[in-house]
Amino acid sequence: MQDKQIIELYFNRDETAIAITTEKYGNYMFKIAFNILGDEEDVNEVLNDTYLSVWNSIPPNNPDIFSSYLVKLVRRKAIDRFRANTRQKRIPTEYTVSTDELDDILSGGESPESAYEAKQLSGAINAFVKSLSAVNRNVFVARYYFFDSIKDISQSFGISESKVKNILFRSRRELKEYLREEGFDV
């Protein structure tokens, strides 16, 4: 079934929309949430929360790219759950490992100035990612957006794990240099 037809089911408040969404995108969403949380029980709760959010947000929302809409929702819910789960302890998952890799480049803050700088930084990072070759961009996005493991990236793109590590290392180094050139203090 096409995404537009699935969205139409949500607009018609047809409960089969959730079943079809699960059938078509459930494994994809599970993988993203599991890479962040690392716990199947939490992932299942996040997926249920995501399906509820989709049900409650369509209508009025009418996403152009349904899969991106789902990814955005599941990532947000999984990260929120991760933060709630790890307030007291730090559990190593692909999310923590991949964000730790970028910690030496990026830092966050809470002030309005920091929020403005974060928006500027986000734009600069997007421009940098767009400048990467297709393979390097895909590897970078898989690691730092989808939180895929090195092994999963290697298998997905048919390249060795050492090449994935090398691409990520060079991309982080180039990102750091790019951000310095753009005037960011890294």
Query: How confident is the model over 43-56, as a mean pLDDT?
Result: 95
pLDDT tens per residue across span 24-41: 999 999 999 998 898 999
Shared fold status for 3-85 and 95-181:
no
Residue entry with tokens 């899969």:
67
- Map out the domains of the chain as residue ranges: 3-85, 95-181
CB 133 within 8 A of CB 79: no
Answer whether 0.75 is exceeded by the pTM. Answer: no
CATH of domain 95-181: 1.10.10.10
Architecture of the structural domain at 3-85 = Orthogonal Bundle (1.10)
What mean pLDDT comes out for the span 45-71?
Answer: 93
How far apart CA 148 and CA 163 sit, in angstroms, is 15
- The set of residues, in sequence order, having a beta carbon less than 8 Å from that of 87 and lying 6+ positions away, is none
pLDDT tens digits, 140-184: 999 988 888 999 999 999 999 999 999 999 999 999 999 888 887
What are 142's two structure tokens? Answer: 């898989």
